[in-house]
Amino acid sequence: MIAQTPRLEIHPDRIAENAKVVYDLCHAHGAQVAAVGKVVCAHPEVIHAMLGAGADMVADSRIPNLASVAALGLERPSMLLRIPTPSAAHDVVRYADITLNSSLGSLTVLSDAARMLGVRHQAVLMIDVGDLREGVWPDQAPDVAKAAAALPHLDLVGVGANLACYGGVVPSVENMRMLVEVRDACREASGLELGLISGGNSSSLPLLASGDMPPEINHFRIGETVVLGSNVLDRSDWPGTRQDTVRLVTEIVELERKPSVPIGLRAQNAFGETVEFDDRGTRLRAICNIGRQDTSVDGILPHDPGIRVIGGSSDHLILDVEDATGDVRLGAEVAFTPNYGALLGLATSPYVEKIVRRG
């Protein structure tokens, strides 16, 4: 059977190798690991690889992804990373054992949903320690925790923080100690144990590897470093991991020599952008069958060092292949390594076939 294009080739065995390296680091610190599969849209082979490497629970931002994980029949807790939507509270409680929350209102809605479903729900109170995405401001957290302790069908099990996503704030000894101090204040105010302190995502791994992570931090939510083998603070290779875990393969649908600068009066493109072009003369250009509807075209790196991504429209990827070293012809395949943002789109797009490769 001929493999279709565009396709995303996934190597779960290689991802499992990466996971073992990262999870061993976390476990040596005495911390649990939530395996985050959202960048591959919770692909079942990747989830199995992560759990087989020792993940303690599965985490995702989307309820449909958690529902698909639940259908696999895996006996591990599930965590919803995205702030719960009140209108979807019943589905949240049904498919997520634990949620990350940033308001008493959300916790109350979840407690009510748990009552109606006849269950108890676990929650982590998120604290904003400087990145300015989700989280209760530190001085308000004890009051929220005290009120949450009175909710009849909800167990507040800990606190957490998110860093390096919105504001790019790097996890540090200072903001991690702040998280511990806020937990202690919440514990005193509420009388709850609050034993779980979730110290962030893959961006926390450099601090953990340095040996400076406070010992009280005992939970991490790890995705990108496992899937792509990258240090998310600078996108360098994470020590001991592989980067050949996923591959985008496209197909050349047009090959022509054309000028490198558009001809005629120019306005905004289809995405409202005014683009500047480098005049490199007449060049051999290829169009491939993928576009911005499926991925971030700025986030894919051609395997052929002689190929350069020029840009893309919603349906087409435009390449300069004048200096290509590989096969360049109509119908030839062109491979790329996607970064995190590009992979997120590829895995989500229904127009990109997903293929599992072994070995």
Q: What is the mean pLDDT of the chain?
A: 96
Which residue in this structure is represented by tokens 């087409």? 316
Q: How confident is the model at residue 291 (pLDDT cuts 50, 70, 90)?
A: very high
Residues 202, 314, single domain; the answer is: no
Is the separation of the CB atoms in 119 and 153 below 8 Å? yes
Least confident stretch, 88-102, 188-202, 270-284, 293-307: 270-284
Token code pair at residue 344: 């997120």
Domain residues for the domain of 134 are 12-232
Is the separation of the CB atoms in 38 and 69 below 8 Å? no
In the prediction, which pLDDT does 1 show?
A: 62
| pLDDT, tens digit, 9 for 90 and up, residues 162-183 | 999 989 999 999 999 999 999 9
CATH code of the domain covering residue 343: 2.40.37.10
Residues 188, 305, single domain; the answer is: no
Which residue in this structure is represented by tokens 């109606």? 116
Question: Around 323, how many Cα atoms within 13 Å sit in the side-chain half-sphere?
Answer: 8
Residues 141, 192, single domain; the answer is: yes
Residues 69, 216, single domain; the answer is: yes
Provide the domain count of the chain: 2
Last residue of a domain, one of 206, 232, 258: 232
pTM here is 0.95
- Is residue 4 in a domain? no
Report how far residue 128's alpha carbon sits from residue 131's, in angstroms, rounded to the nearest whole number: 7
Catalytic residue status for 38: yes
Residues 206, 303, single domain; the answer is: no
**From 38, 146, 258, 354, active-site residue:** 38
Identify whether 302 is preceded by a cis peptide bond (ω within 30 of 0): no
Last residue of a domain, one of 197, 232, 267: 232
| DSSP-assigned letters across all residues of 212-267 | -S-TT--EEEE-HHHHH-EETTTTEEPTT--S-SEEEEEEEEEEEEEESS--S---
Residues 61, 150, single domain; the answer is: yes
CATH code of the domain covering residue 50: 3.20.20.10
Is the separation of the CB atoms in 10 and 354 below 8 Å? yes
Last residue of a domain, one of 200, 232, 264: 232
**CB neighbours of 246 closer than 8 A, spacing ≥ 6?**
8, 9, 10, 11, 40, 227, 228, 337, 338, 343
Residues 205, 83, single domain; the answer is: yes
Report how far residue 12's alpha carbon sits from residue 218's, in angstroms, rounded to the nearest whole number: 26
- Is residue 6 in a domain? no
In the prediction, which pLDDT does 279 show?
A: 85
The DSSP symbol for 87 reads G
Percent of the chain residues topping a pLDDT of 70: 99
